[in-house]
Structure 1
Amino acid sequence: MTVGWLIDAGVFDAYHDELAAAVTRQGHAVVSVNRPNPPYEWDDTGFSYRKAFPAGSCVIAHADIDLITRVADDNIWTPGAFATVPNFFCSHYYAHFGRFLLNRDYVMLPFAEIPRCRDFLFDTLGRDDRLFVRPDSPLKIFTGLTISRSSFEKDYEFMGFYEFPTESLVVVSSPKTIASEWRYVVADGRIVAGSQYIDGGNEVSLPAMDASAFEFAQSVLAAGYQPDPVWVLDVCRSDDGGYHLLEVGGFSFASLYGCDKDAVVKAVSAVAKSMHSSKRG
């Protein structure tokens, strides 16, 4: 069975050609798309991405979250996207992976409640009068950042600039210093590829060579929870030398960095074919 790969060339331009070549080498089909310009929505172009493959096809989309959400909602392909977004909210997967987390000393509360709870949060979780805050949502409403007691009003106003609903949950934890970060692709319950993407605070795109990071990732998998048939797992090493779970995410909207693209295509296509066959059967 041929698997179709719909790849967002604009978002993943750093490795688009490499991934497309791996898809082609393995006998599958690839269609590359870019967000319509000048900035139109897909609605304005008659949902042109839907013409990439016939309805009912076995297709994997790898694109920005907007397009991935549309593909998932369309449900015209199988699997379409590996992106069960509700499973990647912190409030969901922390219940399964809490003991592995870098930010395991945390509280969750509505964004609007941060000012009222300011003293409690700083007194309980603050380090050097700083706190770490990130959204519960995996949709990157804003990236995780630190706020300080001395510039609280300014920092809080900056987060509010992103205009997400004030009742949206945020995770508040003590700030940590991260030395290195790795991303592992998990397919059908096993790690199939990995890449280091932060080294000493610098962005890199290298094969994952750290045996301890891989061993730690395996221990997370051993917990037995699978948020999706294919997903990504991010591991970090903190400045004290310990390894921790940074976050998990949906494969279809996650960068692959320096992962072995042939290994990714082989494993992810196999899962897609199995799901397509099961649905037809």
Structure 2
Amino acid sequence: MKKIILFGLLIASVATLNSCGGSESVKEATTVKLTGHVQAVTMGQAPLVVAVGEYTDNYMSEDIAILVGTGKKIIRVEVYVKNNGKIDFNVSPASFTLDNGKETVEVNSLISLKLDDYTIYDGDIGSTYTKGFLFYEVNADAKVEDYKLNIRNTMNGDTHLASISLKQNDGATEVAENTELSLTEKTIEIEDIVFNGKGTLTINKVIENYVVKGEDEDMEAPYAQNVRVEYTVSVEAGSIYCSTSNFKLKTGLLKNSIFAGTDELESGALKAGEERTGYAVFSVPVGDTDYTFVYSDDSTIKLK
């Protein structure tokens, strides 16, 4: 089965004309680069990251001028999609609409077709990403920052997956590469009710904006950053089964966990007196201010 993400990979110049294609009453296009506008989306088994990199208000080009209605304008939205898992999944098509609470706007397929054949992303996204542009026709007086980009699973009853606001997050700033975070709490008690195990989980180190030169540098979005969490599991009684699925990062903006890198903690049961150290790398929005490390969905450590 092919794996597809439905949106146009559209690249066009940002020339601005009026709706009749002339040069009078020219309105300038305004491009706003957004920071931290990213959400976790699960499509079937695939853990995806969807982000908005920028938008252009009043986008126009000679190719589409005749297609824009009177009293209307075009909003161009750059969208980025990445599979955050290690395994190739069959990914359902996704639809992207704009909504400002008063109206829902579908992608303008006519304009998309005119610019770039309305390309549908189709290929292996096991460890890669894709990005492109979506075009929407709205009223000329509409404010872009009032809209949200809604993502829906078109193969599952048009299920709503996430919303990303187009309003700029003025407080979002990126920390320097490989910044070690000062921890407020380090150790919590954990248990494994299946194996009657009791022990502790200790966070050894947290590195914000984790970057390894030469390793998939072109795979990372500028809208999210990696956070590396190093930890140790120690068993005091019984056994505790270590699994990568037990370790998550819940953040204030994403509201759920996204696993984004290599986890060196070997799976398997630890017996009393044994311990195992490993790390996980997570993808979080740039400017996020709340890291909470979650073990087995119930034990948490506030990291920031």
Q: Structure 2 length normalisation: TM-score?
A: 0.25
Report which of the two structures shows the higher radius of gyration computed on alpha carbons: 2
Determine which structure has the larger strand proportion and give its number.
Answer: 2
Q: Structure 1 length normalisation: TM-score?
A: 0.26
User: Which of the pair has the greater relative contact order for Cα pairs under 8 Å at 6+ separation?
Assistant: 1
